């Protein structure tokens, strides 16, 4: 049985919840005969990567999908690329606020996701969900996490494939804002569809 590691984040920026992790709690324990393992990462530069590396060492997963919140997006967006840059407009949850610093000193300028993104997006769209490519994961902790993940996979012994998906706000986060949102249930169902497609494409 394959092991699939799916990570989300704790709340940050004054929010009380983070849909990236809350949606993971709604996923089934197995998808397409693969065992699903969920993990909540801190919204802290560096600490995220250390916890991710520890989990990869313990689980030896076949697929790793990191999930983050992206306010303003109306559906799931599948990140194609992570850049070697940290530039935080607000502090992380430990008060760190790097400005134009590398994620990894002397690391490559960028890494591309190694997940079968086209198949994942196509499966989500076929099921009636909003899903599309994104070519900029930002320069905050989401990009930092994606870059650290792909650096670990590129420089270590793991044969896992990895990448990052952004999910929208949930309705309770936007009651006083004019921005898009999506229910946790719909986000979870779309993630399940994407995970299943990734498993089937890598069999």
* Residues labelled as active-site residues: 79
Q: Are 59 and 7 in contact (CB under 8 A)?
A: no
**Cα–Cα distance for residue pair 28/18, rounded to 1 Å:** 19
Question: HEC states along the chain?
Answer: CCEEEEEEECCCCCCCCCHHHHHHHHCCCEECCEEEEEEEECCCCCHHHHHHHHHHHHHCCCEEEEEEECCCCCCEEEECEEECCECCCCCCCCCCCCCCECCCCCCCCEEECCCCHHHHHHHHHHCCCCEEEECCCCCCHHHHHHHHHHHHHHHCCCCCEEEEEEECCCHHHCCCCCCCCCCHHHHHHHHHHHHHHHHHHCC
């Amino acid at each position: 049985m394959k092991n699939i590691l799916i990570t989300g984040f704790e709340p940050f920026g004054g929010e009380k919840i983070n849909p990236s992790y809350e949606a993971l709690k709604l996923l089934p324990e197995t998808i397409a005969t693969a065992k699903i393992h969920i993990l909540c990462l801190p919204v802290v530069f560096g600490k995220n990567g250390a916890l991710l590396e520890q989990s990869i060492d313990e689980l030896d997963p076949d697929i790793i999908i990191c999930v983050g919140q992206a306010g303003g997006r109306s559906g799931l967006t599948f990140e194609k690329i992570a850049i070697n840059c940290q530039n935080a407009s607000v502090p992380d949850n430990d008060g760190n606020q790097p400005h134009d610093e590398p994620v990894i000193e002397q690391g490559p300028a960028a890494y591309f996701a190694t997940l079968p993104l086209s198949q994942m997006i196509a499966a989500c769209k076929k099921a009636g969900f909003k899903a599309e490519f994104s070519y900029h994961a930002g320069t905050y902790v989401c990009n930092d996490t994606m870059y650290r993940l792909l650096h670990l996979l590129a420089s270590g012994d793991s044969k896992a494939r990895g990448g990052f998906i952004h999910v929208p706000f949930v309705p309770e986060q936007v009651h006083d804002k004019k921005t898009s949102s999506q229910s946790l249930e719909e986000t979870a169902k779309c993630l399940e569809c994407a995970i299943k497609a990734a498993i089937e494409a890598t069999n």
